[in-house]
A = this chain, B = another copy of it.
Amino acid sequence: MVQETAVLDAAEHLFYDRGIQAVGMDEIRTTSGVSLKRLYQLFPSKEALVVRYLERRDKRWRDSLMAYVLREGGEVGAVFDWLYQWFSEPGYRGCAFINSFGELGATSPAVTAVVRHHKDELWGHLRELVDDDAKADRLLLLVEGAIVVAAIRQDPDVVRQAKAAAEALVSG
């Protein structure tokens, strides 16, 4: 269990920072300190490890976002305040799910499924903050747009426009 966590921590760090195909199992072994044999007992293949990495990140990411939003009173604007903090973290490199989808979506149905699930769940959370499906769609567009633009510009400030646009559409 502690080893599984060590492997997932190492995998998440390396995969997110450098991309999945750029990281070999050997490097995960070295970083986690878990032997290759044990690593393959815990995860039968690299793809399985990737899927578990994404699943764990999905849960943690959504839990963190929604806990923050509730703590702040459940207003839509809080979503973007949370995003701003995330974008400002050193090493921010966009959304792990979008990145994984771009890299492996064409060849790995398992990865595609996790990514799709993550975005569906995110939509569901946003849906709870507004009063119809269309607004949830528009909110999702602003969130995804902000994630992508902040990553490519290496600048979290777009989130201000995203937040302002979101508040306008909610009140409208």
Contact = CB atoms under 8 A, between A and B. Distances in A.
Interface of A: 17-19, 21-22, 93-94, 97-107, 115-116, 119, 134, 137-138, 140-146, 148-149, 151-153, 158, 161-162, 164-165, 168-169, 172
B107 A98 contact: no
Contacts of A107: 18-19, 22
Contacts of A19: 21, 102-104, 106-107
Quickly give the copy total for this chain: 2
A120 to B, nearest CB: 9
A105 B93 contact: yes
Contacts of A162: 138, 141
A158 B145 CA distance: 13
A106 B17 contact: yes
A115 B152 contact: yes
A19 B108 CA distance: 11
Q: Which 9 A-B pairs have the closest CB atoms?
A: A141-B145, A99-B102, A145-B145, A137-B161, A144-B145, A21-B21, A102-B102, A103-B103, A144-B148
A16 to B, nearest CB: 9
B18 A106 contact: yes
Contacts of A134: 161, 164
